Homo-oligomer: A and B are copies of this chain.
Amino acid sequence: MNAPAKEMQLCIDACLRCYQSCLGMAMNHCLEAGGPHVAPPHFRLMMACAEICRTAAHFMLCNVPHHRHVCADCAAICRQCADSCDGLDGMDQCAADCRSCADACERMAA
């Protein structure tokens, strides 16, 4: 009764999973790989994606109707981040987590 509805909980889980992938990969794999992995547009997108995922989860937990708009933003950034990961070595799991999060956020935003 006080827990989020099932669909929303799945979206919170996807957001927190994507947050962990983006932040963890940026701070470890990308910084250690260097080169295109730390190109400003890619790296900034990784950090922005981590942040908006964290915020989207926060809004769903706060139970405010405006979460739909934040989820729509989150989905758009996750898709951009996944595309940016596609061209780089070792980022397949991160790209997959971004796309799963985008799918879940699009369902919440609908």
- List the interface of chain A (C-beta within 8 A of B): 2-4, 12, 16, 20, 23-25, 27-29, 31-32, 34, 38, 40, 43-45, 47-48, 51-52, 54-55, 57-59, 61-64, 66, 69-70, 73, 76-77, 80, 90
Contact = CB atoms under 8 A, between A and B. Distances in A.
24 contacts: A2-B32, A2-B90, A12-B20, A16-B20, A27-B40, A27-B44, A27-B47, A27-B62, A28-B63, A31-B43, A34-B38, A38-B38, A44-B62, A44-B63, A44-B64, A48-B59, A48-B62, A52-B55, A52-B59, A52-B70, A54-B54, A55-B55, A66-B73, A66-B80
Copies in the assembly, this chain? 4
Main secondary structure of the interface of A (DSSP, over half): helix
